Structure 1
């Protein structure tokens, strides 16, 4: 039994089972629910990751290796959540854009997955060196900082290279809908040979599970386990809070990505086995739901990795103050109220002064 369409994780697919056409599709309730969930992910992902990038560019004068990694994670997540509405629209309607946009948007999730997960592994490794190997790494991290951008460039190149099969085989094509003369315009992975389809359908999800989940998970478990042991031995009033943050980071990572990878593994293992239409429909529904949970990680990253830190929270408060002052200046100038404008300008200058003093401290 070979699927006519070729995406390994679609919400709509067609299977030929016992000479009857099996049409697999989400019901309207699931479509509406996913639309609301993805809208939430898109909105909060855009806000959170944009705030991380603004903080990094305009408010943090002294950058650390973790800051560089966090900035790149925010870039990857922001690129993905910006493309998410187009991806979801494509899955529910005919493809309305050209073949180039089809390839780019079709590869957006893979690039985000590989780059984001590898960068999170880099963050855990940097924290391991800073906390567990603190004495031996004293002075070395400042030298390594100069190479952090090269490490990020290597991560991005690796993500692009791992996404090449998806990019190459994702195409915009027309397909006649079964039982009617209507033609559907699709943007999915498409193959001309069954042998190629079999290889890519196994290779792509296998790489996604191995490099995009198992490798980062193993690195994070090792590094954060060592960090927790070090914190438990330390006599610090802040160690319990730090341990809770570590548990939250690993726990959210597992909760978000484990269900999707398990569902993807089950889907991949059953690709070339004969199965019933009902079982296939249930499996693709689970795959779609767990994938939405995995998408949720994009808007949780800023909270877990950035704003739990004291410095990032203080910079965030400064952003709010600056935005409030700028809005008051705009409103006062619109009303031509000199008094309100003077008060806000003085407040804005004082906030700038406190900001500069915090950087120099």
Structure 2
């Protein structure tokens, strides 16, 4: 989400995390001007959000289209992949709002501020949880634990639990997000009670990091490590490719999510203990927060590549779908040409076109 940057006074400074959370530092003794950081955000964030929106919408829409119109839900992983793609799409649809916010300020009103903030949190957190669900399902499949009994009921119950958990995490956004004047323009940001702003902000950041990174990563690490140990002991010519896929999945999750969550936890600690007293360090941290939060967001553009396109079955469905679309377009073109050549009344006859 857009990173708002404040200009400080001699005794206090306001910061916002990726959710625009405002808190005060009271131990600063220097004037910290952040006009350059805000200029960087106004250029970098809209450009990045635009690229992520186009790439992510294209990839995840293809996943949803293939699952909806071509491929039947045969496994839990199929259901989780579909829910993951839907969560990524809903998250990506919020990006145009944050791009405008970073560039010229919030223009969509207070209600959309609450809704967009909530949607961002819901779909970001649910996406991370569905990644953990996929790793669990693959683990049970490898150790050959039967999960076919009441497959649909259990699977959709898990999906329902994931969505409910994500909705609960967005309650602070619905409650506190509002449009306020900030650095000379309107901004969508949460405004917490003044008497507990530091505690609430730190608690929410820790909670989000635990639910959206620590727990999913712990599950993925356990499951994929166990799968890797089993694959190493299994004589199979496809073992090398499977290990590369596992390494790519875990590696991409770490690369995109670890820097962002590490900085977010550090800033949550700083909210309470005011450890940062240097203006330059504060500016560096602001830029790092913007870059790493964008990296974390870009994971939703990579999910189709990692979890769908790497599967040979899914790629075959995509190939067949593309061939069908190409055949359909050729048939339409041929039909249109035949109609144009044979029809005598599709246009009004005039002196210019009569033969």
Give the TM-score of the pair, scaled to structure 2: 0.85
Alignment-derived partner of residue 338 in structure 2: 336
Distance 1:194 1:256 in 2: 35
Aligned length in residues: 328
For the Cα contact (< 8 Å) 1:125–1:223, is it kept in 2? yes
Stretch of structure 1 that moved more, 2-11 or 100-109: 2-11
For the Cα contact (< 8 Å) 1:42–1:84, is it kept in 2? yes
Matched, 1:212 2:219: no
* Structure 1 residues 34 and 21: alpha-carbon distance in aligned structure 2, compared to 1, 3 A threshold: closer
Matched, 1:159 2:161: no
**What pairs up with 1:278-293 in 2 under 5 angstroms?**
278-293=280-295
Alignment-derived partner of residue 189 in structure 2: 188
* Structure 1 residues 77 and 28: alpha-carbon distance in aligned structure 2, compared to 1, 3 A threshold: same
Matched, 1:122 2:128: no
For the Cα contact (< 8 Å) 2:253–2:299, is it kept in 1? yes
RMSD (CA atoms): 2.5
* Structure 1 residues 255 and 58: alpha-carbon distance in aligned structure 2, compared to 1, 3 A threshold: same
Cα distance, 1:86 vs structure 2:
1.0
Cα distance, 1:145 vs structure 2:
3.7
Distance 2:230 2:15 in 1: 51
Unaligned runs of 5+ in 2: 1-10, 342-355
The one-character-per-residue Cα deviations of 1:7-42 (angstroms, maximum 9, x if unpaired) are: 565599997843746435536466434433322211
Distance 2:18 2:305 in 1: 31
Unaligned runs of 5+ in 1: 178-182, 340-361
For the Cα contact (< 8 Å) 1:4–1:15, is it kept in 2? yes
The one-character-per-residue Cα deviations of 1:132-154 (angstroms, maximum 9, x if unpaired) are: 2x1xx23x334334311111011
SS of the aligned residue for 1:60 comes to coil
Cα distance, 1:268 vs structure 2:
1.5
1:296 to 295, 298, 305: 298
For the Cα contact (< 8 Å) 2:249–2:306, is it kept in 1? yes
Distance 2:325 2:242 in 1: 31
* Structure 1 residues 242 and 163: alpha-carbon distance in aligned structure 2, compared to 1, 3 A threshold: same
The one-character-per-residue Cα deviations of 1:98-136 (angstroms, maximum 9, x if unpaired) are: 21110111223321221011111111111110002x1xx
**What pairs up with 1:7-26 in 2 under 5 angstroms?**
7=17, 10=20, 17-18=28-29, 20=31, 22-23=33-34, 25-26=36-37
Alignment-derived partner of residue 354 in structure 1: none
Distance 2:107 2:241 in 1: 49
Alignment-derived partner of residue 276 in structure 1: 278
* Structure 1 residues 13 and 27: alpha-carbon distance in aligned structure 2, compared to 1, 3 A threshold: farther
